[in-house]
Amino acid sequence: MRRLFPALAVAALALGALPTAASAYEIDILTRRPLAPGGVAADGRPKAAAIQRETVAYGGAHAPGTIVISTAERRLYYVLPNKQAVRYGVGVGRPGFEWGGTKTISQKREWPDWTPPPQMLKRRPDLPRHMKGGIENPLGARAMYLGSSLYRIHGSNEPETIGQAVSSGCIRMTNDDVTDLYDRVKVGTRVVVIR
């Protein structure tokens, strides 16, 4: 299992550098050492393939500034002017935790704390009752809270889950991608989730 080293990645973003999937910002979480050239961990495990962020043509009916999430496609679109959008890979709710609808971003947090909701603790009593924000926190580098729901768009320290249906309903992004989106959106941004 590999995780991004967010402090370096965020610093690189601040300087305008965008790390790639095979960048030096990835470490092997088991050894805390940088991945070898080619993204191979010390024990020979292959690096998880990243879904690259890109600007694409967008023909949908949503206004610029809207976030559109296609759970079937496992992609998030941030709509830009001139019929374009930034497309990100995301992880979505696993079977039984899918949802759709329209929400708004009600709060934004950098390196958020995490308190698992009671429903999750019933399913997973082994989880901590509260976890301070940081590299080990499952919400990752940034979180955008969706209305008064339990759902968030948040970072993940498990990039191999991006493009998968594995969450309890939250939308997961790599820490690099969630930081990019976080800087683009405001509280009140409309979020449309399509199943």
Please name the CATH architecture into which domain 50-194 falls: Beta Barrel (2.40)
pLDDT in tens, 1-48: 333 333 333 333 333 333 333 333 344 433 434 444 454 555 554 444
* Beta strand segments in the chain, E: 2-4, 26-28, 33-34, 54-57, 67-70, 75-80, 84-89, 92-93, 101-110, 142-146, 152-156, 165-167, 171-174, 190-194
Residue 62 annotated to the active site: no
Residue 170 annotated to the active site: yes
* C-alpha closest to that of 3 among 189, 183, 160: 160
Q: Please state the three-class secondary structure of 107-121 as a single string.
A: EEEECCCECCCHHHH
In this prediction, residues 154-169 reach a mean pLDDT of: 91
Which position among 79, 85, 146, 170 bears the catalytic label?
Answer: 170
Q: Answer whether residue 57 shows pLDDT above 60.
A: yes
Q: Could you give the percent of the chain with pLDDT greater than 90?
A: 54
What pLDDT, on the 0 to 100 scale, is given for residue 158? 87
Which position among 142, 152, 154, 172 bears the catalytic label?
Answer: 154
Can you list the alpha helix ranges (DSSP code H) found in the chain?
6-14, 118-123, 175-184
What are the residue boundaries of the structural domains of the chain, listed by start?
50-194
pTM exceeds cut of 0.75: no
Q: Could you give the percent of the chain with pLDDT greater than 70?
A: 74
When computed from its CA atoms, the radius of gyration of the chain, rounded to whole angstroms, is 16
What pLDDT, on the 0 to 100 scale, is given for residue 193? 97
